[in-house]
């Protein structure tokens, strides 16, 4: 069979490859000068990147530009996100070692040495065009790597300015600016695909299409999954506290976070009281007619209407044609019983719309959550409001999620919090449930190569009976040679 002729290159392909080659070469040159940096210098580099976006004036400038560019979210919350996530991530990173010996296990004769990976490509989303690039760059630099940011086209202007700020701060402490670079415009899937082929690691936050492309690049890749967080209000919950936390989490940055609550499952015995508490916390319960109006506006040809996602409540109330009372609301509640494509409210909405389910009891609520996750968001996370924290253990044991949060405002605990033991991140791994390579929050460890020094220890070889004994009893084996 004759060998097929090679496919002709697309117009501009040679130029694209040259551009990417030069970009990666600059990264490699910068990383080579940083690869042997001390822990002190490495940590100062991380501080510099954090300050590039934490500084109040720049945080505001980037928040304003992000909302102007993308039309997603709101300025006050984006300022909080940039500063809170950056500060929390800096706290986490400064408490760990990433240079030289990072762990010694004398009992097992193992010493671990951290080494850089090289050049990292960080694919970032339009929902966080400022915070996510810095978050990933801080982790990459903690590992003494260089990083190339591949931004969303929609958020390019914000990400470009963010990268400019990071580069300037690196130069101020005597480090090469090219430790952090950005993919040059025009930002296309082809350009992102090409740069992913030439580096040591790809880390993707954003669309599942981008995640799949990263995994197909031939380069080691870490992708994260889609959210669709369901939370339970159990009958023993403090309803006022639960409603306040759900409201604060739901409305933060107009629900751009993958950790934002999308559904609330309420036990029947407290249903009416919980709804009242949610209304007092800013929710508006829509009628069946209003629910139909929202569905017609929020989905166009089966897909979320990009003109309405992550918009302010007043804009949504007008677009949905809701009553005047709704125009004072912070978010909108719709009652639902179904799950799946025929019930679009059961999926992620990226908007100030919260789906409400009624469950007979906790067991039924748990199964409702399982059903929602099986439709969308499996592996990501779920939440529970209760006075019986043991029920959280039940959810963690039985549901296919990486994170179960008990009595949290989900958005403020899932990606790390000052009252949460999870590390700060803007990228949440969802395990094999969403075909992700990690089942934890993205953190600095994912940006390190580890060398293991192994030295002899006293022999640890148990007797055969110790290991095979329970099996031998079951199969009536006498313990002799087979």
Nearest CA to 166 out of 58, 94, 83 is that of 58
User: What are the distances in angstroms from CA 315 to CA 81, 161, 276, 320, 322?
Assistant: 22, 28, 24, 9, 11
Q: What is the largest CA-CA distance in the chain?
A: 84
**Two tokens at 122?**
């960080």
State how far the alpha carbon of 360 is from the alpha carbons of 35, 104, 268, 397, in Å: 58, 52, 5, 21
Residues with Cβ within 8 Å of 267's Cβ and at least 6 positions away in sequence, in order, are: 232, 233, 234, 235, 359, 360, 361, 362, 365
For residue 239, give both structure tokens.
Answer: 């309803």
Q: In this structure, how many other beta carbons lie within 10 angstroms of the beta carbon of residue 218?
A: 10
Catalytic option among 258, 286, 382, 430:
258
CA distances from residue 372 to 4, 96, 298, 379, 413 in whole angstroms, order as listed:
47, 37, 19, 11, 21
430 in active site:
no
Cα of 52 vs its chain's centroid, Å: 21
- Burial label, 420 (beta-carbon count in 10 A; 0-12, 13-18, 19+): middle
Q: Which residues are catalytic?
A: 258
């Amino acid at each position: 069979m004759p060998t097929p002729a090679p496919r002709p290159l697309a117009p501009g392909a040679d130029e694209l490859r040259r551009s990417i080659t030069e970009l990666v070469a600059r990264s490699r040159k910068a990383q080579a000068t940083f690869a042997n940096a001390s822990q002190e210098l490495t940590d100062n580099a991380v501080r510099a990147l954090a300050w590039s976006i934490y500084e109040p004036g720049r945080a505001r400038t980037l928040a304003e530009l992000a909302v102007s560019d993308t039309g997603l979210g709101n300025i006050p919350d984006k300022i909080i996100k940039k500063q809170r996530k950056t500060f929390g991530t800096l706290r986490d990173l400064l408490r760990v070692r990433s240079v030289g010996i990072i762990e010694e296990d004398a009992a097992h004769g193992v010493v671990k040495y951290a080494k850089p990976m090289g050049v990292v490509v960080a694919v970032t989303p339009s929902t966080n065009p400022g915070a996510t690039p810095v978050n990933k760059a801080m982790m990459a630099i903690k590992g003494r790597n260089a990083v190339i940011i591949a931004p969303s086209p929609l958020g390019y202007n914000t990400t470009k300015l963010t990268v400019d700020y990071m580069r300037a701060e690196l130069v101020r402490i005597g480090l090469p600016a090219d430790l952090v670079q950005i993919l040059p415009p025009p930002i296309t899937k082809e350009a992102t695909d090409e740069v992913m082929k030439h580096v040591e690691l790809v880390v993707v936050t954003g669309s599942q299409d981008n995640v799949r492309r990263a995994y197909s690049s031939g380069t080691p890749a870490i992708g994260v999954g889609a959210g669709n967080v369901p939370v339970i209000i159990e009958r023993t919950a403090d309803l006022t506290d639960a409603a306040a936390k759900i409201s604060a989490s739901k409305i933060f940055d107009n629900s751009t976070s993958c950790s934002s609550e999308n559904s609330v499952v309420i036990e029947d015995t407290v249903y009416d009281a919980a709804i009242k508490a949610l209304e007092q916390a800013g929710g508006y319960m829509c009628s069946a007619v209003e629910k139909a109006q929202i569905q017609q506006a929020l989905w166009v040809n089966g897909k979320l209407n990009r003109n309405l996602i992550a918009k302010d409540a007043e804009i949504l109330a007008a677009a949905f044609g809701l009553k005047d009372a709704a125009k004072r609301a912070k978010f909108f509640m719709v009652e639902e019983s179904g799950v799946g494509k025929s019930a679009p409210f059961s999926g992620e909405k990226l908007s100030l719309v919260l789906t409400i389910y009624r469950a007979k009891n906790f067991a039924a609520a748990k199964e409702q959550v399982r059903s929602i996750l099986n439709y969308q968001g499996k592996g990501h996370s779920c939440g529970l409001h209760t006075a019986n924290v043991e029920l959280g253990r039940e959810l963690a044991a039985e549901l296919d999620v990486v994170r179960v949060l008990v009595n949290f405002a989900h958005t403020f605990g899932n990606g790390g919090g000052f009252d949460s033991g999870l590390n700060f991140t803007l990228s949440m791994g969802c395990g094999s449930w969403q075909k992700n390579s990690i089942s934890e929050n993205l953190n600095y460890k994912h940006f390190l190569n580890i060398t293991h020094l192994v030295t002899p220890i006293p022999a640890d070889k148990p007797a055969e009976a110790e290991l095979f004994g329970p099996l031998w009893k079951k199969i009536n084996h006498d313990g002799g040679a087979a």
